[in-house]
Amino acid sequence: MSELSHLDGRGNARMVDVGEKPITRREALAEGAVAMRPETLSLILGGGIPKGDVFAAARIAGIMAAKQAGSLIPLAHPLSLDAVEVGLEKDGDTRIRISAAVRSTGRTGVEMEALTAVSVAALTVYDMCKAVDKGMVIGDIHLVGKTGGKSAFPAASPAPPQRA
């Protein structure tokens, strides 16, 4: 069990001590999607959702969520973020693709912040549109890449999210 950084030698949960890690530029890119009926996507793109601009609300929610990841995820470190970019775009006739790029200069990565941003942006899309489409599906949330630290992938810096 000692291979897992959030467990001590006896299997007890612990917050990892990052105090000795070097300060480096950290970046992470995450993506996800919300699938819906074509009519719902048309309403979103045409500004016809009664609750307002879905993309604008989801973008703000994602940014706010990234800043709160350390409060939401047990054992995650609260981080000072340099930048958070959330993008939403049409992906075919039935999906919205959501991406989040997060940057920080620190001792630990920003993967959880990027994943949290995508997740909450997707939940916001769902919340704003549930009155017209209760069958939406949130999914495909994953880390695309990260840089900084010792376990970066891919080698190149993650691309910023697409803007809608």
Q: Is 8 a catalytic residue?
A: no
The position carrying tokens 């009519």 is: 39
Around Cβ 51, how many Cβ atoms within 10 Å? 13
**Structure-token pair, residue 88:** 């939403």
d(C-alpha 20, C-alpha 49), whole Å: 49
Alpha-carbon distance values, 53 to 6, 42, 113 (Å)? 40, 13, 24
d(C-alpha 12, C-alpha 8), whole Å: 5
d(C-alpha 125, C-alpha 109), whole Å: 27
Options 17, 53, 93, 127, the catalytic residue? 127
d(C-alpha 36, C-alpha 149), whole Å: 38
Q: So which residues are the catalytic ones? A: 127
